Every structure is written in structure tokens, then in C-alpha cells.
Structure 1
Amino acid sequence: MDNHYFPFTAIVGQELLKKALILNAINPSIGGVLIRGDKGTGKSTAVRSLRDVLPDRKMVEGCRFGCDPDGAEICMECRRKLEEQGSLPSRQVRMEVVDLPVSATEDMVVGSLDIKRALRDGIKALEPGILARANGNILYIDEVNLLDDYIVNVLLDAAAMGVNIIEREGISIQHPSRFILAGTMNPEEGDLRPQILDRFGLSVDVEAIKDPDERIEVIKRAMKFQEDPESFHSRFRRKQEELREKIIRARSLLEMVELDDETLGLIVEIAAALGIRTHRADIITARTARALAAFNGRRRVTGDDVMEAALLAMKHRLRQLPFQRQQELSQEIIEDIMNGEFEDDSEIDRERRLRRDLKIPDLKGSLQGQSSSTVTGRRGKYVRARENPEPSSVAVDATLRKAASAGTGTIEPEHLMEKVRIGKSRALYIIVLDTSSSMRLERKIKFAKTVSWLLLRDSYEKRNRIALIAFRGYEANLVVEPTSNLETVEEALEGLRSGGRTPLTPALRLAAEVASSSSDEACTAVVISDGRCNVFINSNLEEDMNMLETELRNLNLLFVNAEPEKRSLGILEDMASRFGSEIFYLDDILI
């Protein structure tokens, strides 16, 4: 046991992260794990500590590529020795963590010409690269999102095939390259392209632990490890050995685990319901489910194995749209799919339409909106005149009439009349859509998306700009910035997933911010929610409303309650009354 590394079993929490690493250790063909999270959340610690719970491995004595003598693939040098000698001498070695630097070049990764041997002996030989050192070990890529896409593809190709093929400078050679791949990244520093994301077998999002008792335990263990690493390792030695034995047993059992057609059908059903457009997701989920069954000592994959595997293998493959944060995939959603109770959140009922007699107060037009009219100084059509001693644009006809009616032969300052012009101005319609868990009940989210789509389409036809805010969990997000591109908004609506808590007041504040940044437009925010707000900016709803009152007074607000009037909690009604806004009910406005 290496006392330099924190014991794997001493890591507090982060169970999903630890499970993903263990499953890749049981079956490296899963394709690695992508670990996303803020700095200081234990990503690197977990990867580096994994080596101490993994069994030793066999390696051919003196092999530059770390070949396993019992492996299906061996390098050309080992194959030649095997043909000449009939066997390959080997020894047991510890698994290592091989680091791949962000600055790595292709030559560093795959290998290149051995310049020293070429100059000294005149022999073209290969200088093994990082993929050779990684064979049979753990390949760790920190800040994988900052690595060149081409290098990432080379690594992932080798991980998928289990072989590294090198053809350069007149050299053609291949060697096995089977390793446990682990990549870490901080999403705030940039994301990976979907094509690269799909190549990683599993993904885990890591957050700082929120439970106070667990955070205290993290501090205690970190301090004890730093003060006396040897004593700290002794404390967890039994747990480390137990986990190592469990991994060894799982590896032996893996090939005997059965995965019947009914279970395979369940995997396909989950992927289809989530709109995942890659067969790789199905294959990786199946491999992961088998590894889970083996880890738990079973020879048959269960529904629970499939559910846990899908959470790890499918989240990073969910469709992600412009301006959209990474979507959530919860156990609740997977269970609903498996039980046949999943409602496709992406569905918009394009056969429905809005009642046309609904009005927005103080604005001309129906609920769907029209291009706003406004009084302008120098632009627009001249429609009437008004008194103004300092007119920006003189209405000559009205001025002459006023002077004539006064019976004077001259025009005095008090006779001056100003032109009033009416011109079409752009309007901005902001849809503020509740996508929390409660909106998934009774298909409310489907109807809400349909109303949003109808409003946005109609606003687009009237040449207004449109924006979309979605709120769930602990925050509101501007999913689509103000735009005239209806297709972008439509794709975003279809891609929105529901789940989590209801941060209604943070969403209202975001709407006010969007409106204030569009000061040249008349702004209307249409809030569609069931009003079950339970995440606040301050400590409660009343404090939030007092704080937001000034900002929201400058915004035309319209509320659409997703609950029938008889079941409404009254929160949206109170908000509408407070701001002098109209409120409608979802089941009354769709026909």
C-alpha cells in the first residue's frame, strides 16, 4: 500500500464517482469515466487513490509496452519471443497512474522514432509513448477539456480498440493499449464537444458535499492523513483489502453474467425515451449493467443494475442545445421510463391553439401580442399635433391654424405645435417557464411548452424578438437569449427536461435583468408556472417580492397558472394582484 495516496475507501461521500471508477476497473471496455466538477471536490484524489484497491497485474519481463502474457493482444516483440521460446517470462507489478499533460503532442502520446538508436546504431526503432506506459494501468487526464480535440480522439480510439497502431518515419508497429481511462474537468473552464463526450463511457458530476456532518468528517480525515499517513492507512487497510478482493471476484464473474433480450429491450427503451441518438449509449449501458451485477456477486442483470448503469452512461449523451446548461438525469426519470410512466417533456402539441380574446393590460393586442406602437419625436407617421413651447418637430399646419384662430397676423411662441408621430417599435417577449418536478404531474409541462411555443411563434410572426427562461432546481437559466430565430427557440423548448425544485423568484429577477438590457424595446414577461415556489433569493417569498418590486414594476407581467383555478395555491394570484397584472389558467387558454 502506497502511503502517498489517500485511501480510496476513506473518501467521504461521492459514491457515484467511486462506483464509476470501480466499474471501469472491473471492465475497462466500458470506456472510461469523465468526472466533471469544481476544483477541490476530490476528483483527482479519487482517481489517484484507485490504484491501491486494484490487484497486481502480470507483465512480460522486459517488455517496453507492458504486455500481459495471458492477454489476447501482445506486441510484435513479445510475439516473436513467444514463437522462439514457447513462453514469456513474467512478473507481478503494481498498477500505476500515468498522467497525460495538457501540452502533450501526438508523438508523446502514440510514440515516435527513437532518435538515439537511429543516430547511434542506424536502426529505426520506436520510442514508446504515453499509450505504451498506460497499458495495463490507469491513464489520467486532468483538465481534459483543455486538451486538443485530435489528441483526445487518439486516446479514445486506443481505449475503444485496446490497441495502439503507429505508422510513421518508415516504422509500422502496434501494441496493446488497454487501460482504465479517467478524465477530469471543471465545466466553468469550457466544455467538450458532444462528439468527444459521447466517446467517454461513463460520466459523473461531482459537487462539494452539502451535509455539515460529512464536511466535518472530510476535514478530520484530511488532517489525520496529513499528520500521520501510515497510521491513517492502517485504519482503512481492511476496507481496502475487502474492496480489492471484491473487484477480483467481479472480474472473474463478469463473463458469466447473463443479459437477456428483455433487459436489453429495457436499455433500448430508456435510450429512446431520453432521445439519445447514439448506439454507443446502449452498448456502454449493457456493459456497465453486467459489471454492476458482477460487482454485487450476481450472474444475472436486474432492473436496478440497468437503472444505475443508465444514470452513469446516458447523462452526458443527452441532447444539449445552444445557451443550455448540462441537462439533469435523475433516478426518478429512469424509474418512470422503466414503469411506463414517463411523459416525453420534449413533446409540443402543435394541433392546439390559443383563445384569441385574451388581452394583456395596457398593451394593444391579444395574449399573443402585436408589434407595439409608441410616440416618437422625429420618426414615424405624423398623425396629430400637441402643444409644446419647444417642439422637436414643428407641426406647421397645426401652428398656422392656431395662430389664425387667435386672430393675430404673426406666429408667437405660444402658437407652436409639435408633431406626434406613431411608429412600429420592436417588442421583446420573455417566456419564463417552470420546468420543476411538480410541472411533470398531469402533463402540465407538455401544456406549458405548448403555450410557450404558440406565444413565441405568434410573436415571431409579428417580427418581435423572443427569449426563453427556464427555471428548476436551484436556479433560473436564460436558455435562449433575445432572438428573432424561432427555430433556435423551438429546439430549446423541445430539449428542456423537467425535475428539481421551483426557483420562481430567481426566475423573475432574471426576467427583469433581461428586460433592463433591452431598454429600446417594450418588454413583456409571460410567467408559466404552478406557483409551487420553494427556492428563494432571500429567506422567503415575501422578502423576495419586496426586493423585486421596483424592478418588476417596469416590466409588463402576465401570469399563466398551470393549475386549475380551484386547485391553485394562490401564490401567482397574489403576485398578479401586487403588480396589477392579468392571470390566466392553463386549462382555460388552450383550445
Structure 2
Amino acid sequence: MRNHNTAVYPFTAIVGQERMKKALVLNLINPKLGGVLIRGEKGTAKSTAVRALANLLPEIEVVEGCKFRCNPDNRNELCEECLDNLKAGNLRVSRVKMRVVDLPVSATEDRVVGTLDIEHAIKKGEKRFEPGVLAMAHRGILYVDEINLLDDHLVDVLLDSAAMGVNTIEREGISYSHPANFVLVGTMNPEEGELRPQLLDRFGLCVDVKGISDVSRRVELIKYRLSYEANPETFVANWQAAETELCGQILNAKQLLPEVRISDSMLELISQICVDLGVDGHRADITMMKTSITLAAFNGRTDVFEEDVKEAAELVLSHRMRRKPFDSHSDKQDKLDESIENHREKQKEKEKEKNKHEQQKKEHEEDKEKQHKRPEEQKSERSQNQTDERPDSSSETIFATGESYQIKQLTPEFLRADRKGSGRRSKTFTSSKQGRYIKSTIPHEKTSDLAFDATLRAAAPYQITREKNGNSIIIHESDFRKKIREKKIGNLVLFVVDASGSMGARQRMVASKGAVLSMLMDAYQKRDKVGLIAFKGESAELLLPPTSSIELAQKYLQEMPTGGKTPLSRGLVKGYEVIRTELQRDPDTCPFMVLISDGRANVSMNGESPLQEIKTVASRLREEGIQSAVIDTESSMIKFGLARQISAALGATYLTLENLKADSIVNAVRASAPFDIMPPSGGFSV
């Protein structure tokens, strides 16, 4: 949490990153926008901007002594204690600065939502709540760096609280709620893995940031930073006028916000943009409407203009347009401009129709007035007043949709091991409090994760014989039960791909890459790590070390060259070495190797038969408990069945590429997901 006694770098002194700064300001004006996700490189002033903005605003009024910093001017936002004090006439007010609360990636669910003292509730009949991060962030800013590395269920909790403004904690039948209105700011580096689309969509705004490329602006940034570090107080004082001006603009916008109105025409433009840009659902429409209104208020207007809608679209749709991890980047700005132009044309058509209707009505009235004129005069005047208006045909634009695979949901196997990590594929027991409570057990040592419901049930039969001394229930140490939790974790999917000349036939390599891409899609959804090894010529090469960046894996796969001999045993050994290194670095890794080859090896490492050498290596992999699958790419009329023999030696799932769709391969590979894996004990000796 920020110490406000030190000089904070001024918000208005941040060079560049205008869109990021605008998104942060809009969320302060209107917290109902749903927060902002900032994606991009490190060192681009993300955290500096968040802290500077909080320091920019004046102090806020809070209930003195309240752990939630309740708003004394809003009865609906008061916690239970403040409501009691209000009824008793003991509510006192103080002023404090807005807080920036940091959420570490390692935070547990109890640390985020807070905890209830169940023992106190049982003995005293009173609720005693220990505040968590959400309570601390109330009426402030919750800053989550590397939010893509946070467990999905914690991200869900954050987004739910940010949307509802309330945090509810339920433990063993006891419920407690408190206000949790905050501005959620998440940052992430896409190369370290993406958020799931369902979570991305729930962020109101999103901006992509990168370093400044203009040399003069970079020099300006350096000079500002040197000046600030040399004398922070003087630097801050020099920017005070600009800070005061922006602060006034924000406060004026907050007051003006309820008075802003948006026309039906602008609402139609918002919906038309969402339809034209292929956005799913309706959250984008609603968020774009709120953002447009907030932009109008920030610009000192009570009417929403087309320019507000366009700017809102750039902030609201950037993370909602790419619904698949391998969708190609399109020129979003051109699509947006085209959609706005189409709307203008439709508005012109409506205006023409309206004018035409009014003209016909006017002519009808004139005809009534001319009923007593001579037929010749009526005919002459009508012929002069008639107009020939033909509306322009409205143009429609049809956007191409990229091919995608429909992948069924995986029911993961249950891992017996107690593993750490995060993901969405395999279930595992966990000793951390981040997992879900599923059952209880008798603890063999002291524990801080008591299962209170099970403990009470264990103590209940003995209450008649125990000395209570005024307590409602007596619990002995023998009654203690510990929670058993489970969570989902990802896997390391290591692709070992045959890039030799025998794979050079175009259709075979295309089909093989299609299968890998489908599995990459599945890995993206399950938050797996992936790695890529290619073997050809005389060696095997690790093209991509294990990473969470699925798009990077796709890039290396597409650029993978083909040709030369088939050193298949070297590919398997390289796969083993990569897996062993990962297990030594992270024992909680769940490795899964996918071999894609026709099995026609013609290079050995020690001079013996290539096939026999491969079987020796494969048997060692099987002994080490490394799960695998073999995709047989052999497609000639005469089949040798070598890949099937290798699969048997590996103890792997065997699949042929012929007559199989990529999603069928994925489903079959899923069926062989690892149940449990023992770390390799050593290296190969072939």
C-alpha cells in the first residue's frame, strides 16, 4: 500500500501513454465502467500512472475508525458497524487520501476476501471479520500486476466484487457482507500467457501499451525522471498547476455525469459497431454506452457526440474482438471507421425518408386547399411540385470468419500428488488455501486450515459430558479436522515433431500442423505450458522452450523448416532432457509428450539399428512415468507400422493421421491426460 508522505510522481508529468491515462481517468469519474486492463511491455509507467492518479485527487470523507472507510454521505454503502453507530448517533467523519492496494500473485482466497472468526462466532454468538484485500480497496484502487498469472477463481472473485460493489464471505453457514467499491486495474504481459476470453470480457476497458519510439519524447522522459529523482519536492511543485487543473476537470466531470444524455442515434451507432466488429454478447454495448457518457462528461458536455462513441469503441472493443488465440490481427481502425460511415449513410437515408414523408404530408394539405381550383390549375401546380427522389441503396459489409475447431470440454483425470501451480486441465490436491474445500481429514500436525463444520460434527457427540463453564460448545484438540482442498493445474505439453524429408509432402505436413494447432487451442484454454522440438538431419533442436505464450508456439510451428534425414531417437532424448529440466526447476510440472512422425528413422546415435535404439529410449521414457501420445503420419499405400511399434514401447496413445480431423486427435490425446507422474531419476544411457 502506498505511503503518501513521500512525493509521488505527478500524473500529468508522465510522457506519452495518453490512452492508458485516459482509461484510468474515466474509471475514476465513473467506477461503474468495470476497471481497466493494461497489456504490454514492462517499464511503460503502468504502476506509476496508477499511484500518481490516486495521489492527484483530494482527500475523501470516511467514517472515522471504520476498517472499510465507509462513505458517511451514503447510507446504502455503510457496513453493519457504521449503521449501528449511525442509529446511536456516534458516527464521526474524517478525511483521508484515496488508497492504492496491491494484490500479490501469491495471494490466497482468504487473503483476498477476508476471513470470519468461526470460533468467536460459536462461543460469543458474534460475527468477527478480519478484512481482506477487497475491504482495504473499498473507495480506492485495487492494482493487480500480472493478473494473467493469478488463479482464475481469484480473478472471478475480483471481477464479481468490482461489478456488484459488495463482497460476501460465507464460512460454515455464517455469512458476512461489506461494501467493496473500487477501481480495478490489472496489468499483464501477453507473452506470459493470456486471460481466458470470459475473464477478458468482464474488464470494462483495455489498452495496449508499448515503449515510446520517438527519440525526442524518450529524451524528454529521461530528463523528467532525472529532475524528479534529483529533487522530488521541487519537481512536484512545478507540475502542481497542471495537476490542479486535471483534478478540477475530473471532479467537474463526476458532478456532470448524471446530467449527460445519449440520443437514440448514438445508441444505434454503438450497437451497429458491435455487430459489425463481431463482438459476442451485449456487455460491450452497455460498457461502450457508459464510456461514451463518461467521455462527454470529461469534455464538459451533457450530450454524447459521435467522437465520444468512436473513442469509447477503441477502449472497449480491443480485447473483445479477438475471440480465438490464433485469429489473425485485422485493421481494427478501418473496420471501426467503416462501421461509423455505414451508420452515417443509414442516418442520411432515415433523414431522406423523414423529409419525403413530411413533403408528402405537406402536398396532401395543399391538395385540400386547392379543392376549389380549376382542374387545369391543380394539374399544373402538382406537376411543378412533384419531385423524383430515389433513396440510395444501403451498403452492407460482410466480414470473413476464420476457421475454428469446436472442442469438447475435457473432464480431467485426478492427480494423486499434492501439486502447486494454476491452470484448468488436471485436478490435484493442494495444501494451499487457494484450492476448493472438498472434504476433511484428521490432521497429523498443527494446521491453520481447520474444517470448522467437520470439527463441530466431531465434537457434537461429547458435549453432554464436557465441562462448558459458560461456553456454548467445547472443542478439544482431538476434535480438530483439517480441510482437504483441490484445484486445477495446467500441464506441460511438449510437441516433438518430425521435420525430416519424409514429412515433406505438403498435405501431410499441413495436416500435422493442423493437429498441433488444434491441441495448442486446447492448451490455451487450459492454461498449459507448451514447448516445441523439431528433429531432422543429424540432430534435434528445441525451437521453443516451455512457455505460456501459445501464439509464440504457433509462430515457431509455422516457420519450422522441413527436410533431411530422420533422427527420431535424438528427438525423444531431447524431449526427455527438456522434461527433466522442467521437473528439476518445478517439481509440480505435469509433462505430456506428443510425438508426430511416421516412425521411419534412418539415423542412430550409437550405430545400432535406428528402430531398436528408439525402442530402448522409448522404454526408458515409459519407465520414468512420462505420459505420451504418438500421431502416426504414414500415408503411403504400403504401411510399415513403425510408429505403432514406437507407441507400444512408449506406452502411449496411438493415433493415425489419415481420415482423422484435428479435433478428433485432440479428443484422443485428451483421453490420455496424465494421471500421475514421477520425476525422472537420471539421464539416458543408450
Q: Same fold (TM over 0.5)?
A: yes
- Tell whether 2:140 aligns with 1:137: yes
- 1:483: which partner in 2? 514
CA contact (8 A) 2:113 2:169 kept: yes
Match of 2:202?
199
CA separation of 1:77 and 1:330: change in aligned 2, threshold 3 A: same
Q: Return the offset for 1:60.
A: 1.3
1:339 is aligned to 341
- Report the CA distance between 1:466 and its aligned residue: 3.0
What is the rounded CA distance, in whole Å, between the counterparts of 2:33 and 2:557 in structure 1? 46
Q: Could you tell me how far 1:344 is from its partner in structure 2? A: 4.1
Residue number in structure 2 paired with 1:409: none
- Check whether the contact 1:139–1:182 (CA below 8 A) recurs between aligned residues: yes
**2:79 aligned residue:** 75
Q: 1:162 to 1:216 in 2, by over 3 A?
A: same
1:517 to 524, 544, 562: 562
Which blocks of at least 5 consecutive residues in structure 1 are unaligned? Answer: 350-423, 430-462, 468-480, 490-509, 522-591
Which residue number corresponds to residue 288 of structure 1?
291
5 Å matches for 1:249-398? 249-324=252-327, 327=329, 330-340=332-342, 343-346=397-400
Cα distance in structure 1, aligned partners of 2:231 and 2:402: 60
How far apart, CA to CA, are the structure 1 residues paired with 2:226 and 2:209? 22
SS of the equivalent of 1:64 reads coil
Which residue type is aligned with residue 561 of structure 2?
Answer: S
Alpha-carbon distance change, 73 to 80 in structure 1, aligned in 2, over 3 angstroms: same
What amino acid maps onto 2:63 in structure 1?
V
Q: Is 1:173 equivalent to 2:176 in the alignment?
A: yes
| Partner amino acid, structure 1, of 2:513 | P
Distance 1:512 1:162 in 2: 45
Corresponding residue number in structure 1 for 2:366: none
Q: Distance in 1 between matches of 2:311 and 2:292?
A: 8
C-alpha distance in structure 2 between counterparts of 1:12 and 1:292, whole Å = 21
Match among 489, 501, 510 for residue 466 of structure 1: 510
> Which SS does the other structure have where 2:168 is aligned?
strand
Give the aligned partner of residue 232 of structure 1: 235
**Deviates most, 11-20 or 187-196:** 187-196
Amino acid of the structure 2 residue aligned with 1:466:
V
Q: 1:428/1:160 Cα in 2 relative to 1: closer, same or farther (>3 Å)?
A: farther
2:250 is the counterpart of 1:247: yes
* Partner Cα distance (2:198, 2:219) in 1: 40
**2: distance between equivalents of 1:94 and 1:62?**
15
| Alignment partner, residue 107 of structure 1 | 110
What CA distance in whole angstroms lies between the structure 1 residues aligned with 2:281 and 2:558? 38
TM-score, normalised on structure 2? 0.51
TM-score normalised by the chain length of structure 1: 0.59
> Which secondary structure does the structure 2 equivalent of 1:297 belong to?
coil
Distance 1:342 1:28, change over 3 A: farther
Shift of 1:338: 0.3
Corresponding residue for residue 31 of structure 1: 34
Q: In structure 2, how many angstroms separate the alpha carbons of the residues matched to 1:205 and 1:90? A: 40
Hey, what's the Cα distance between the residues in 2 that align with 1:235 and 1:319?
Answer: 43
- 1:536-547 equivalent positions in 2, closer than 5 A: none
- 1:80, distance to aligned residue in structure 2 (A): 2.4
2:106 matched to 1:62?
Answer: no
Question: Kindly tell me: are residues 332 and 348 of structure 1, through their superposed partners in 2, closer, same or farther at Cα, counting changes over 3 Å?
Answer: closer
| Counterpart for residue 21 of structure 1 | 24
- Say which SS state the counterpart of residue 178 (structure 2) adopts: strand
Q: Which runs of 5+ in 2 are unaligned?
A: 343-394, 404-500, 521-554, 567-686
Q: Give the secondary structure class of the aligned counterpart of 2:513.
A: strand
Amino acid at match of 2:217: E
Q: Which residue pairs with 2:7 in the alignment? A: 4
Deviations 1:61-94 (A, max 9, x none): 2212111122332212222222333x73222211
Q: What letter is aligned with 1:346? A: A
The amino acid that maps onto 2:82 is C
Quote how far apart the aligned CAs of 1:39 are. Answer: 1.1
SS in 2 for 1:466: helix
Does the 8 Å contact 1:293/1:301 carry over to 2? Answer: yes
Shift of 1:41: 1.3
Say whether the 8 Å CA contact 1:315–1:328 is kept in structure 2.
Answer: no
Tell me the distance in 1 between the aligned counterparts of 2:61 and 2:34: 22
Check whether the contact 1:3–1:233 (CA below 8 A) recurs between aligned residues.
no
Judged with a 3 Å threshold, the aligned counterparts in structure 2 of structure 1 residues 348 and 313 are, in CA distance, closer, same or farther, namely: closer
Aligned to 2:359: none
CA displacement at 1:485 relative to structure 2: 9.0
Pairing of 1:78-89 with structure 2 (within 5 A): 78-85=82-89, 88-89=91-92
CA contact (8 A) 2:502 2:563 kept: no
**More divergent stretch after superposition (179-188 vs 117-126):** 117-126
CA gap 1:427/1:242 in 2 versus in 1, 3 angstroms? same
Within 5 Å, which residues of 2 pair with 1:501-516?
Answer: 514=559, 516=561
- Secondary structure of 2:239's aligned partner: helix
The answer for the alignment partner of 1:154 in structure 2 is: 157
How far is the alpha carbon of 1:111 from its aligned partner? 0.9
Q: Which moved more, 1:40-49 or 1:198-207?
A: 40-49
User: Which letter does structure 1 place at the counterpart of 2:214?
Assistant: D
Deviations 1:515-541 (A, max 9, x none): 6236689xxxxxxxxxxxxxxxxxxxx
Structure 2: distance between partners of 1:428 and 1:224:
63
**Native 8 Å contact 2:8 2:236 kept in 1:** no
Deviations 1:114-140 (A, max 9, x none): 489679978541111111110000110
Q: Letter of the aligned partner of 1:228 in structure 2?
A: N
Does the 8 A contact of 2:277 with 2:335 survive in 1? no
1:273 deviation in Å? 0.8
In 2, the alpha carbon distance for the partners of 1:237 and 1:2 equals 16
Deviation at 1:332, TM superposition (A): 3.7
Give aligned pairs, total. Answer: 380
Identity of aligned residues (%): 49
1:461-497: CA deviation from partner (whole Å, max 9, x where unpaired): xx54438xxxxxxxxxxxxx832699999xxxxxxxx
What is the CA–CA distance in structure 1 between the aligned matches of 2:147 and 2:32, rounded to whole Å? Answer: 20
Read off the aligned partner of 1:304 and give its amino acid letter: E
Cα separation, 2, equivalents of 1:168 and 1:32: 28
Instruction: Give the 3 Å change call, closer, same or farther, for CA 286–465 of structure 1 in structure 2.
Output: same
- CA displacement at 1:55 relative to structure 2: 3.0
Tell me how far 1:257 sits from its aligned partner: 0.5
Once the 2 structures are TM-superposed, how far is the Cα of residue 200 of structure 1 from its aligned partner? 0.7
2:66, 2:152 → 1: CA distance? 30
Q: Distance in 2 between matches of 1:138 and 1:14?
A: 19
SS at match of 2:8: coil
Closer, same or farther in 2 for the Cα pair 1:485/1:48, shift >3 Å?
closer
Supply the distance in 2 between the matched residues of 1:465 and 1:299 (Cα, whole angstroms): 59
How many Å separate the matches in 1 of 2:564 and 2:557?
11
Q: Is residue 327–residue 402 contact of structure 2 (8 Å, CA) maintained in 1?
A: no
Q: Secondary structure in 1 aligned to 2:312?
A: helix
